Amino acid sequence: MRDREIRKVIHILRREVSVWEVPIVTTVAEASRDPFKILISCLLSLRTQDVTTGAAAERLFRLAGSPEEMVKLKASQIEKAIYPVGFYRTKAKAILGICRDLIEKYQGRVPDEIDELLKLKGVGRKTANLVVTLGYGKPGICVDTHVHRISNRWGYVKTKTPEETEFSLRKKLPSEYWIEYNDLLVSFGQNVCRPLSPKCSGCPVEGYCDKVGVGKRR
C-alpha cells in the first residue's frame, strides 16, 4: 500500500464500519467518558471476547465505579464479578493493585500521559494508548493484534512487533487518523480481515492491499 492510499482506505472503512460491531472498550468510552472505566475495561478485554468483557465490566462497575470504591472490595468479589474473562484471578489482583497506586500516587485520578500509565503494573502500551485517546482525547495510536497484522498485511508498515508498528505508524500515519485507527482496524479485523482465511473477495479495500503473508483466503 502506498502512503497516499491510506487516506482512501480510511475513508472507505469509515463508511463500512457502521455495519460492524464496535469494540467493547469504545462502547464503554462512549457511554461513560470515564478514563477509569476505560482503563479497567481494557484490562478485562485482554485475551477475552468482547461479549464476555462487556458483561463482566457491567457487573464489576455495578459494584465499584472508582478506585476508592474498588479497593473496598475483596479480590474474591472482583473475581466473581469478572468471571469468565481470561485470567480472571490475575486480573482481579492487578485491578486492586492499580487502584491502590492510583489512590496513593495520583490522588485517585487516572494519568493522561502514556509514560505515567506505563508505571502502573499490568498496563502496557495498548492499554495506555486507549486510555489517553478514548479517555482524554489526546493523540495516540493503540496497536493490538488486529492493527499490527492488518497494517503489515496491507504493506503499509513492515514490522515484527506491535510496539514497532506503533512507532512506525507514528512516523507515517497522518495524525488526524491516530485516534480512530484502532477502532476501524479492530472492527475490520474481526469481521473481514481475519487472521486465517480473510474474506478478500468481499473486502472493501482489497484493491489497496498487498496481501503480505496471506495464504488461504475467501
CATH number of domain containing 50:
1.10.340.30
At 211, is the secondary structure helix, strand, or coil?
A: coil
Helix (H, G, I), strand (E, B), or coil: what is residue 43? helix
DSSP strands (E only) in 36-106? none
**Does the pLDDT of residue 212 top 80, yes or no?**
yes
Residue 3 binned pLDDT confidence (cut-offs 50, 70, 90)? confident
User: Do the Cβ atoms of 30 and 24 come closer than 8 Å?
Assistant: no
The model's pTM is 0.90
22 pLDDT band, cuts 50/70/90, is: confident
Rounded mean pLDDT of 173-179?
Answer: 96
Q: What is the pLDDT of residue 217?
A: 79
Question: Mean of the pLDDT values across residues 39-43?
Answer: 97
Q: Is the pLDDT of residue 69 over 80?
A: yes
Q: 186 and 119, same structural domain? A: no
pLDDT at 206: 96
Q: Hey, how many other C-beta atoms are within 10 angstroms of the C-beta on 18?
A: 8
Active-site residue set: 126, 144
Q: How many domains does the chain have?
A: 2
- pLDDT of 177 reads 97
Using only the alpha carbons of the chain, give its radius of gyration.
18
Residue 216 lies inside a defined structural domain of this protein: no
- Band (146; pLDDT cuts 50, 70, 90): very high
Nearest in space to 181 (alpha carbons), one of 141, 132, 144: 141
Q: Kindly state the average pLDDT of the residues 186-197.
A: 93
Asked if 38 and 127 sit in the same domain, the reply is yes
80, part of any domain: yes
All three cell numbers of 191, joined, read: 469481521
Q: CA nearest 24: which of 175, 211, 190, 148?
A: 190
Please calculate the CA angle 24-29-33 and round it to the nearest 5 degrees.
165
pLDDT value for 218: 79
Overall residue count recorded for the chain in this entry: 218
Q: pLDDT-derived band of residue 19, with 50, 70 and 90 as boundaries? A: confident
- 148 and 128 within one domain: no
